[in-house]
Amino acid sequence: MTDLNASNVSPLATLPGANIFLIGFMGSGKSHWGKIWASVNQLTFIDLDEMIENKEGKSIASIFETHGEDYFRRKEAEALRSCEGLQNTIVACGGGTPCFYENMQWMNDHGLTIYIASTAEEILQRVLNEKEKRPLLKKLNEQELLLFIDQKVKERAAFYEMAKVTVMSGLLEDDSLPAIISTTTI
């Protein structure tokens, strides 16, 4: 049995494409855990939203305002595909990434997709203070926000559930990644 914690063995060594895509709703902890797991396992971390912001020279909020959501989704699909060829990398996707341009299929073909699932209440608590940077949320009050999150999570479930592994956000820890990887046989 491979010791995934041995310092000279990358936990990604067993994965085709050797990349991990973290998916899940806004505020589910994709960037938070992506950064921690990359650091603990000596992997590279990439945040897809940040990649788009750097390429466009604008914040996500400003891209939505200036060019609209369709434009953003095209840039998002392009940014995702530019990850082809990366190795030993954890990519934190945007909450909507799996739902457009067959991105979910592409991610499943190019690495390990991990769905970080959360309840609507957990998501609400995490996004309440960060609404401004999220164009889909910023105009909603707390009550509207909970309804929106609940509806959108249900709407997106079919995409999120295509992930190869699903984990509950509340159970995650700094050293969870090797154990998560070992639950999959891809």
Letter for the amino acid at 96?
Answer: G
| Phi and psi torsions of 19, nearest 5° | -130, 155
Whether 118 and 25 have beta carbons less than 8 Å apart is answered as yes
Binding to ligand S3P, residues 28-67 (CB under 6 A):
49, 60
Least spacing, CB of residue 30 vs ligand S3P, in Å:
6
Alpha helix positions (H), the chain: 30-40, 48-56, 60-67, 69-81, 103-110, 120-127, 142-160, 177-182
Letter for the amino acid at 170?
Answer: G
Give Cα 33 distance to the centre of its chain.
10
Instruction: Establish if 134 lies at the interface with ligand S3P (CB under 6 A).
Output: yes
Rounded Cα distance, 77 and 63, in Å: 15
Binding to ligand S3P, residues 155-174 (CB under 6 A):
none
Least spacing, CB of residue 4 vs ligand S3P, in Å:
27
Instruction: Establish if 178 lies at the interface with ligand S3P (CB under 6 A).
Output: no
Q: Based on CB atoms, which residue is closest to ligand S3P, 8 or 139? A: 139
Q: Based on CB atoms, which residue is closest to ligand S3P, 98 or 178? A: 98
Q: Report the residue from 11, 29, 94, 98 that binds ligand S3P according to the rule CB under 6 A.
A: 94
Nearest residue to ligand S3P, scored by beta-carbon proximity: 94
Which of these ranges, 92-100, 118-126, 138-146, 172-180, lies near ligand S3P under the rule CB under 6 A? 92-100
Whether 162 and 98 have beta carbons less than 8 Å apart is answered as yes
Instruction: Establish if 26 lies at the interface with ligand S3P (CB under 6 A).
Output: yes
3-class state of residue 92 by DSSP = strand
Interface residues with ligand S3P (CB under 6 A) are 26, 49, 60, 94-96, 134-136
